[in-house]
Structure 1
């Protein structure tokens, strides 16, 4: 048997025996929590390097690597919020601090072992949360209010008052489970809207958010009314005081 054939047989034998065990096939946490993902070889091997990858739609992106020769490396954008928490080459763990929704997805751990090649395991992470914002554009009495929501699980977006209009909605579902929703509401007569009359309501199974649409024009009108009313009241008060003083003087003279 040639050396090449012997090497191939050894590699096949190694691949047949060793497996990678993930700590959990799927982890669920909330935004801001810490979470640890772990993998281990069922049989010890001469591991040269451990690599963690995040699966994307078309590729696997390296996020962290560790070897006894080159040390550890954390790739952007995970620096300062993720690190290895186990530096044993046959067992590996990475911990995320202050998790974000975009951390959701599946991760692959790779053990590069000599002379057998790489052994891989896989674990998935879901980071539940809810973010929302609202803004508007107004021109010649015509208002377009836009409410954006990003969440996991999938959020719903509603308006407390439609003002005889029908909102339009766009939904984008990402491969990591996060869902983005944009709702637009067009109102032809903005005079019917006061400061608190229009509110975007966003919720999923974990959270609820209410975002009032505060129209600056309405706030400006209220401020203008206040600026007119206060001086007018002061003027009336001064006139009354002057009249009272004059009457007192007339009474004294009489």
Structure 2
């Protein structure tokens, strides 16, 4: 998991580098004279032009002072070209050094990220999230996966304003549950390598994240983190409304839970089907949500049918209820429906 996170971080850094143009312009050499690239055709034309000028100079007599001025000008041009070449070389060296420096910085960042991901939490095995029903007990455990000199294990609740100590264990002092948690928390497995606690009858105020700290020498504190998520799911209520039609009827199912449950209607017979389905959610004052699904069951032609409703949320097992629609005869002369006898 940590390796996958590091891989995505590398991809993100590479994408940022590409957008910012790090690979294209590590060091800007645009200020260096003559650093622009000239086409080969232009260079050849320039050489041919200078060659013609040289040949013309050999055949055309010139005054000695003019010849001296021309030689001086050529010498100055040569010095300028030499200085430009040196500047380009210096700029190339600076480019290389800048690239090397940026790669060193990037590697340091990756090493730091790797340390933060693997350095502490990876050595402790614990559950990331524990689902628990309101009013039930929950078991939280932490196991140290490396050999360390552990002096004490401390459990804390991670509150927004502080980290509140719950309980501690050490070989010298044994098990200690802090005041305020004595009737709520107790040790299940007390050890310096594997330590677990039980929180009794979990309520809303117990929801949140908890820390287990292995206080070691000389490495300091190694921390594991696990979070409690409460759920509440009540048995669904399935209703079948009476209908004047012998071929269809309206079915509705309601379920209340926290977080909002999913409600699914089903029917066992293959020739029957639901249509015109609709779902309504209502948030209650106690933070639970009531979800109601209504649909029209068609195709049973007066025959009996078994209708089911399933309510579930997250990884919690579904709760299912069933009802049977009895078979009916066609409406008789007295205007009433009569059930078939089995």
TM-score (norm 2): 0.35
Higher Cα Rg: structure 1 or 2? 2
Higher helix share: 2
TM-score (norm 1): 0.46
Higher strand share: 1
Q: Which has the higher contact order (CA 8 A, sep 6+)?
A: 1
